[in-house]
């Protein structure tokens, strides 16, 4: 077992750092329904951490706990080693945790560029009047923000649709715009909720490549949810497997693949 602050080098030569976020005994209930039951796991700096499981396993709920959209009844979240007080989603975002949504949440009425720019909102420090009059620190700030935004737009290969209103884009591109917006916040932790849901094989390959590139180029820590086992195994460094709100496996893709509980859950062995 590795120490929390210890770092190590993976097989493909990337360095994985200490623990960034730790979930401790999280339990989440909706009325009488237990969505997450006493789950603990951690996310290390620079890794791609996957949460997988069959439909209804509680994966999305877990991501929503991390991003503050749900408040668990029990357990606590440690961020950079410190217990995180109960926070609103926007406060979590301001701590450098960006996310995407399973059912894409973009600003449909705005252009791609404007959408990605909203990712920079928390990096704007000049006041209202400076911004409106384009004076003081506002100009330099805006130039810097633009640079970051353009880099992300280039990175995700969506230059050709910069000025297009998002509502006109096909599904696959919307997913990319959403990722660009999350990235432009330069997050220390990026949460992806089913980034490949509803995509065809080609789009899935593109998205996998983007996720790997993001991790590689910016060193962003990524936690993602996916129910497609194949994709996840190729992509991630470590995998948490959930079923019926419980954790049934945690480890490298190989370890998880050979875990009997995981095999049962995916092949549908009855619970008794």
Partner 1 sequence: MPEQLAFAMEVTLNGLMAGVLYALVALGFVLIYKASGIFNYAQGVMALFAAMTLVGIMNGQVPFSHLINAMLGTEIHHFGWHVPGLLAILLTVGVMVLLAWLVQVCVMRHLVGQEPIILFMATIGLAYFLEGVSDLMWGSEIKTLDVGLPQGINIAIEDATYKLFDYGFFVDNLDIVATVIAALLVTGLVLFSQYTKQGRAMRAVADDHQAALSVGISLNFIWVLVWSVAGFVALVAGIMWGTKSGVQFSLSLIALKALPVLMLGGFTSIPGAIVGGLIIGVGEKLFEFLVGPMVGGATENWFAYVLALLFLVFRPQGLFGEKIIERV
Which range touches partner 1 (CB under 8 A), out of 5-13, 29-37, 120-128, 195-203? 120-128
Nearer of residues 66 and 256 to partner 1, judged by Cβ: 66
Between the alpha carbon of residue 62 and those of residues 22, 71, 204, the distances in Å are: 12, 10, 23
Structure tokens at 219: 């060193």
> Which DSSP state fits 18?
S
Dihedral (CA of 254, 256, 259, 262) sign: negative
Burial category of 1 from C-beta neighbours within 10 Å (exposed 0-12, middle 13-18, buried 19 and up): exposed
Sheet holding 33-44, edge to edge: 33-44, 19-30, 74-79, 82-83
Contact status: 197 vs partner 1 (CB under 8 A): no
Q: Considering the rule CB under 8 A, would residue 124 count as an interface residue with partner 1?
A: yes
Contact status: 168 vs partner 1 (CB under 8 A): no
Q: Which of 2, 71, 121, 269 lies at the binding interface for partner 1 (CB under 8 A)? A: 121
- 88 binding partner 1? (CB under 8 A): yes
Residue 239 CA, distance from chain mean position: 14
Least distance (Å) between residue 246 CB and partner 1? 27
User: Does 164 participate in binding partner 1 (rule CB under 8 A)?
Assistant: no
Chain CA centroid to CA 69, Å: 13
Closest CA to 150 of 123, 112, 96: 112
Which one among 37, 78, 107, 164 touches partner 1, defined by CB under 8 A?
Answer: 107
Does 135 participate in binding partner 1 (rule CB under 8 A)?
no
Closer CB to partner 1, residue 45 or residue 193? 193
- Enumerate binding residues for partner 1 (CB under 8 A): 67, 69, 88-91, 93-94, 98-101, 105-110, 114, 117-119, 121-122, 124, 128, 131-134, 181-182, 185
């Amino acid at each position: 077992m590795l120490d929390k602050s210890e770092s190590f080098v993976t097989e493909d030569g990337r360095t994985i750092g200490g623990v960034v976020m730790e979930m401790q005994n999280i339990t989440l209930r909706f009325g009488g329904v237990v969505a997450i039951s006493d789950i603990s796991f951690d996310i290390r700096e620079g890794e791609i951490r996957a949460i997988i499981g069959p439909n209804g396993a509680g994966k999305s709920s877990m991501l929503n706990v991390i991003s503050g959209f749900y408040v668990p009844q029990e357990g606590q979240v440690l961020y950079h080693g410190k217990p995180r007080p109960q926070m609103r989603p926007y406060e979590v975002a301001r701590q450098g945790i960006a996310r995407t949504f399973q059912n894409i949440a973009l600003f449909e009425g705005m252009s791609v560029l404007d959408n990605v720019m909203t990712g920079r909102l928390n990096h704007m420090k000049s006041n209202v009047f400076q911004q409106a009059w384009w004076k003081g620190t506002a100009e330099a700030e805006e130039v810097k923000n633009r640079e970051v935004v353009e880099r992300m737009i280039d990175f995700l290969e969506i230059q050709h649709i910069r000025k297009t209103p998002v509502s006109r884009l096909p599904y696959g591109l919307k997913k990319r715009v959403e990722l660009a917006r999350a990235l432009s916040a330069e997050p220390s932790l990026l949460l992806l909720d089913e980034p490949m849901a509803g995509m065809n094989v080609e789009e899935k390959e593109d998205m996998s490549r983007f996720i790997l590139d993001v991790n590689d180029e910016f060193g962003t820590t990524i936690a993602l949810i996916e129910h497609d086992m194949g994709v996840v195994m190729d992509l991630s460094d470590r995998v948490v497997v959930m079923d019926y709100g419980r954790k049934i496996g945690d480890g490298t893709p190989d370890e998880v693949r050979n875990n009997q509980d995981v095999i049962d859950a995916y092949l549908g062995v009855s619970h008794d």
